[in-house]
Amino acid sequence: MATEHFTRGQVIFREGDKSQEAYFIVNGLVEITINTSHGVQSLAKIGPGEIFGEMGMIMDRPRSATATAIENTTVETVAETEFEHQIIQRPDRLHVYLSTLFERIRKTDLLLTTSTNATVPLVSKPKPAKEPVFRVKLRSHYDETGLDLEPVEKTITKLPFRIGRSYFDTATSALARNDLSIEEPTPYQLSRNHCEIDFEHGHFILRDRGSKLGSWVNGDHIGVDAGCITSPLKVGENKIIFGNGDSPHRYSITIEELQ
């Protein structure tokens, strides 16, 4: 495999390009986007150990999405002739490949499901001369709701930050892409792939990942049934409920601007 380096903002390949290789990320961060009738939509942000660009090669079709380095990024290129040996026959990379693929399928399905009810994309604001730096904290309020779970208090250092219900099937959990897995007895309020915190168009957002019941963000419902899968998060404290409005999974997401 050859190694390639891409600088921040550099396009690795564009939608419609000929597919000749897949990429394994050594370090950095890559965003996968597609063009829709409602504008450019983000499918995924993927980091070290993850694979992208393989679908066009496998299906012998042009690229179905655009890949852009959003940090300085190093990748290993995998040619079609090497793909089976480098990915399919290596369990460590196969698990990464399948989990990344499933996450991408969920996101694509959500975009298709909500396309007829799509909300207007958040408007990008002109970038300030010096981009602000933020601290994002996630905290549970189980002490207030009486839920007998370990309290959660995290400073989020990677985006997207994915949240979901714990997998009890170890074979399935190997394919999970959650950064926070929350245990829960039945009846479930959380889905196994519930939501994610992300940053796009100059705003922090909470995005649904195809959950059954959705979430509440500062009093607004998001989810497939709500017809909107994202909600902006404001600077300061945001009140979050995962599940129905009476769910005990109540959290706060606090965003502090440091400069």
| 34/40 Cα distance (integer angstroms) | 6
Give the lowest-confidence range in 15-29, 30-44, 169-183: 169-183
Question: pLDDT grade, residue 171 (50/70/90)?
Answer: very low
How far apart are the C-alpha atoms of 220 and 80, rounded to whole Å? Answer: 46
Model pTM score: 0.58
Going through 47-160 in order, the beta strands assigned E by DSSP cover 51-52, 66-69, 73-79, 134-140, 153-156
The pairing of strands 250-257 and 220-222 is unpaired
Query: For residue 7, what is the DSSP state?
Result: -
Give the pLDDT score at 49: 81
Q: Judge whether residue 255 has pLDDT over 90.
A: yes
| Each residue's pLDDT tens digit, 106-135 | 665 555 555 434 343 433 444 444 556 788
CA distance linking residue 231 with residue 138, whole number of Å: 16
Query: DSSP code of 190?
Result: S
- What domains are there in the chain, each with its CATH number? 2-117 (2.60.120.10), 134-257 (2.60.200.20)
Rounded average pLDDT over 65-94: 82
Pairing of strands 51-52, 134-140: unpaired
Q: Once rounded to an integer, what is the mean pLDDT over residues 72-84? A: 84
In Å, how far are 131, 254, 256 from 137, measured between CA atoms? 19, 5, 8
Most confident of 81-95, 120-134, 152-166, 204-218: 204-218
Count of helix runs (H) and strand runs (E) in the chain? 5, 19
